[in-house]
Structure formats: C-alpha cells, structure tokens
Amino acid sequence: QTGCYGNVNNIYTTGASCATGSPEGLSYCGVAASEKIAERDLYNMNKYKTIIKSAGAKKCVDPAVIAAIISREGKNCKNTSSFQEVMFSLAFLDRRDHTVVEAWDSEEHVLQGTGVLVSMIQGLFWCFLPGGISAYNAGRGNVQTYPNMDIGTTHNDYANDVVA
C-alpha cells in the first residue's frame, strides 16, 4: 500500500549514514545498511504488522514508513529511567509534547504517532514525505530545504534511512 504522501519506492535516498550503520556492527553505509538493519528488525516488526497496517490504512501512510520509523526510533532507546519517562513506546512520542493515549503497543498509540507524522508532512508548505519524516524526528522548524532536510536529525540521516 502506498500512502497519500508519496510512494517511498519513487523517492531518491542515500540511506543510512555510517554513524547509523556503525553501532549496528556494519562496516558500510547507504541503502544497503538501511536494508540490513530493517532485515534484522523484521521479526519484531511482524509482531505489530496488523496494527501497523491498520494505522497506515486509517491515516493514509504507507505501513512500511510507519514500520521504518518504529525501527529507527527503537535504535535510540536507552535503558535509563529519564529516557523512559520522556519517550513512550512503539511510536516513541515525546511526553513533553504529546499526551500519550492507550497502551504502548496498541493501535491507538500507533495511530497517534502516525497522526503526528501526518501533521508534520502537512505542515510543510511543499507537503513532502521525507521532509515530514525529518520533522517527526527533529521538529518542523529544522526542515529548511529538500537537499538538507536531514541536517539536525539523529545522525543527520533520519529521513534518508527511513525511506530506504
């Protein structure tokens, strides 16, 4: 299923930076690194496949994008109480900015996170998927131009890795 905000298969991407691939034990970067990381996460993503597909259909977002964001955000998860108090679950919503709904692994929660992504995409006047993905990570004000949209995101490659 492609979403209302573009077909990820038609978006040019550089993939994961070496800063993203290295902690995963990869000696390479780019689309191949993104694909390898996604392959490793496939088992965990399949546990939530029904929820992700339903949220994608309801919010008109490609489920692959939702799964990739969940996978990428999970890489940032640190085992500290302060991090756990602020960030919450599959959609990794920041409690400082959002009132979190339902259980961490519920469809409602994934719908909430996907809704945040949609609002980020729609908030950009050129309304493009990669920019919305970057904004989901670093805030709408961070996205200045298409070529430089990932500057200021985690490892400066967030949207390129998610899209790959």
Residues of the chain with pLDDT under 50: 76-89
User: For position 150, what pLDDT does the model report?
Assistant: 93
State the DSSP code for 6: B
Write down all domains in the chain, each with its CATH number in brackets.
Answer: 8-163 (1.10.530.10)
pLDDT of res. 88 = 41
- Identify the pLDDT of residue 110: 85
Q: What is the reported pLDDT for 157?
A: 94
What pLDDT, on a 0 to 100 scale, did the predictor assign at position 80? Answer: 40
CA 97 to chain centre: 17
Provide the pLDDT for residue 63.
93
Model pLDDT, residue 127: 63
Predicted local distance difference test score (pLDDT) of residue 71 = 83
Residue 149: CA count within 13 A, CB half-sphere: 26
pTM: 0.81
Residue of 24, 35, 39, 73 with catalytic role: 73
Is-catalytic flag, 85? no
User: Which pLDDT score, from 0 to 100, does residue 41 have?
Assistant: 86
